[in-house]
Amino acid sequence: MSIPSSSYMRLQFFSRIRQFIQSKSARRRQNEPNHNHEKSRTLKNINCQEEKQVIIEEKNHEQSDIEEDDCVLLQKSVKRLHFGSWEEKEMAAKEIEKLAKEDVKIKKLMAELGVIQMLVSMVSTEVIGRRRAAIKALIQLANGTYTNKAIMVEAGILTKLPKNVDAVDESTRHEFGELLLSLSSLANTHIPLSSSEILPFLVGILESGSSVETKELCIGALYNLSAVLDNARPMVSNGVVHTLLKLCSMKERLSEKSLATLGNLVVTSTGKKAMEDSPLVPESLIEILTWEEKPKCQELSAYILMILAHQSSEQRDKMAKSGIVHVSLQLALLGSPLAQRRASKLLQWFKDERQAKMGPHSGPQTRRVSIGSPVSPREAQEGKKMMKNLVQQSLHKNLEMITRRANAAADSSKLKSLVISTSCKSLPY
């Protein structure tokens, strides 16, 4: 005789709950003798041994009652979540959130009882309170459990995200951001970007008037996703590069994580091409090199500029016209050790390129030399001398500007010693 599917599911559910309660009771009985034995040894040579033993037994009994209460509450909550009305489902989701927060072991049991699938189905509801209760419960169930995160993705959580960010209140946006940040750690294997709404949703929040905290969660999720090279193409096609470049211009805590995400994308051909075509590049990145109070941002921006400038004379020309040589020189003198090394590398590239352009056909010579005509050693020496003078003049000009800034910040003594050590006699000291 076949059993109806709903009855069979109920039978499995109550059987699994019963096994869980019995296993906890068995573990408690096994631990009590050892626990009591250890306690009795510690109470040896104490006059009120019997009285303290009674206290210990009372505490064990209270703990047992609490555990049994949690099991009963779990049983009732899961039952209402599966078979109750919508109002009962909402109350059950709130109770499951509390239980999952207090007991890590319960998280695994809830996954086996089909709790996650039911909560995911509640996320797409239009009732705000019901949806928020489901999201909060999922956040707790996802924390620290790889399996639960995978079950959420398989249950279609990424297809149930709101398509219109403006129609979602700020609190719900923040909770969605927290959940997606947790789920994005599965990027290596389980996140189907092409068939989900996660990228449009995250970009929509970043371009909305959401709080900095909410945007920070979304950028964190994008950073995790960008760590997988195969995700670069869908991220670029959804406008992630342009959105992050705009956020980088703000001297907030969003800048550092945005630059780190762009640093992951720029190493791919798709991400690099998107940055090269952006009207914000390289000016916005060069501007970040001047943020003395944000050394990490300077390091990340210099890294991105290095990738863009490598083997691209067109990008180097754009950077040169935007004043990167002057800014890089300042960074090479006053930046962090890592920023100094990266700025020095950029300067070396521009120096080599300038020397290449100074070759026998187009060098800074006193008279024009026809194409293909030989250059005498004397003329070559004069060209080198002229270039050395130009570089020295540029160095003096930049050092004077740096000195003025340092004096304004009441920190001129350190820079003064640095300039004196260069033995540049033309400086005004």
Over residues 318-324, the mean pLDDT reads: 93
Contact indicator for 116, 80 with CB cutoff of 8 Å: no
Question: What are the tens digits of pLDDT across the range 233-243?
Answer: 999 999 999 99
The pLDDT value given to residue 261: 97
Contact indicator for 97, 57 with CB cutoff of 8 Å: no
Contact indicator for 92, 74 with CB cutoff of 8 Å: no
- If we measure between CA atoms, which residue out of 383, 330, 329, 382 comes closest to residue 354? 383
**Distance, CA of 259 to CA of 223 (rounded, Å):** 9
Contact indicator for 113, 79 with CB cutoff of 8 Å: no
Question: What are the tens digits of pLDDT across the range 276-300?
Answer: 999 999 999 999 999 999 999 999 9
Residue with more model confidence, 407 or 195 = 195
> Strand, coil or helix: what is 143?
coil
**Distance, CA of 63 to CA of 82 (rounded, Å):** 29
pTM: 0.71
Domains of the chain: 68-160 (no CATH), 161-277 (1.25.10.10), 279-357 (no CATH)
The pLDDT value given to residue 301: 96
In terms of average pLDDT, the best of 42-46, 50-54, 92-96, 189-193 is: 92-96
Residue with more model confidence, 140 or 22 = 140
Question: What are the tens digits of pLDDT across the range 208-260?
Answer: 999 999 999 999 999 999 999 989 999 999 999 999 999 998 767 899 999 99
* Number of Cβ within a 10 Å radius of residue 369: 16
The pLDDT value given to residue 102: 81
Q: Is the pLDDT of residue 362 over 60?
A: no
- The separation between the first and the last C-alpha atoms of the chain, rounded to the nearest angstrom, is 102
The pLDDT value given to residue 132: 95
Residue with more model confidence, 6 or 227 = 227
Question: What are the tens digits of pLDDT across the range 21-38?
Answer: 555 555 555 554 444 544
Peptide bond just before 374 cis, omega within 30 deg = no
Number of helices followed by number of strands (H, E) in the chain: 21, 0
CA 10 to each of CA 1, 84, 198, 237, 401: distance values in angstroms, whole numbers, following the listed order:
17, 13, 34, 46, 78
Per residue in 118-143, is it b (16+ CB within 10 Å) or e — as a string? bbbebbebeeeebbbbbbbbbbbbbe
Contact indicator for 157, 123 with CB cutoff of 8 Å: yes
The pLDDT value given to residue 115: 93
**Distance, CA of 12 to CA of 155 (rounded, Å):** 20
The pLDDT value given to residue 214: 96
In this structure, what is the dihedral angle of CA atoms 311, 312, 313, 315, given to the nearest 10 degrees? -140
Q: Quick one: what percent of the chain has pLDDT higher than 70? A: 64
Q: Bin 295: left if φ > 0, else alpha if -120 < ψ < 50, else beta.
A: alpha
- If we measure between CA atoms, which residue out of 216, 125, 119, 121 comes closest to residue 168? 125
Contact indicator for 356, 348 with CB cutoff of 8 Å: no
Mean pLDDT, the chain, rounded, equals 78
Polymer length of the chain: 429
Lowest-confidence region among 75-84, 102-111, 181-190, 382-391: 382-391
Q: Is the pLDDT of residue 85 over 60?
A: yes
H or E segment to which residue 420 belongs: helix 412-421
Q: Is the pLDDT of residue 91 over 90?
A: yes
